[in-house]
Amino acid sequence: GAGVSQSPSNKVTEKGKDVELRCDPISGHTALYWYRQSLGQGLEFLIYFQGNSAPDKSGLPSDRFSAERTGGSVSTLTIQRTQQEDSAVYLCASTPGGAGTGAFFGQGTRLTVV
């Protein structure tokens, strides 16, 4: 596709359930970021993938959160045993690299834990 695609766009889940959020970056983009944005809050960095390097996981808030990026393309963010405080919009961004390029964002996945 022409842009970064995230799915699902909305997800409502029961507390304690696991969820998987998907991000399809723009083809050829080497870097991929996951962020979350809680209601009324700013962007919170979660994880960063760059090429074949080890991901920067420094932003993951707990061990219930994990992410993978298979084949340098699609990424999945998994949240296990979801809690109500996990409710947020999860944003994915990718960049092709190169100094002149900016980040291309997906529309986000709105996660609601009830």
Q: Would you tell me which residues interact with another protein (CB under 8 A)?
A: 4, 31, 33, 35, 40-45, 48, 50, 56, 91, 93, 95, 97-100, 102-103, 105-108
- Which helix (H) or strand (E) segment holds residue 29: the answer is none
User: 77's torsion region: left (phi>0), alpha (psi -120 to 50) or beta?
Assistant: beta
Q: C-beta of 46: minimal distance to another protein in Å?
A: 11
C-alpha torsion sign, points 72, 76, 77, 81: negative
* Smallest distance from another protein to CB 15, Å: 24
Q: Residue 9 or residue 78: which is nearer to another protein going by CB?
A: 9
Please list the alpha-helical segments (H only) found in 1-114.
Answer: none
User: In whole angstroms, how close is the CB of 98 to another protein at the nearest point?
Assistant: 7
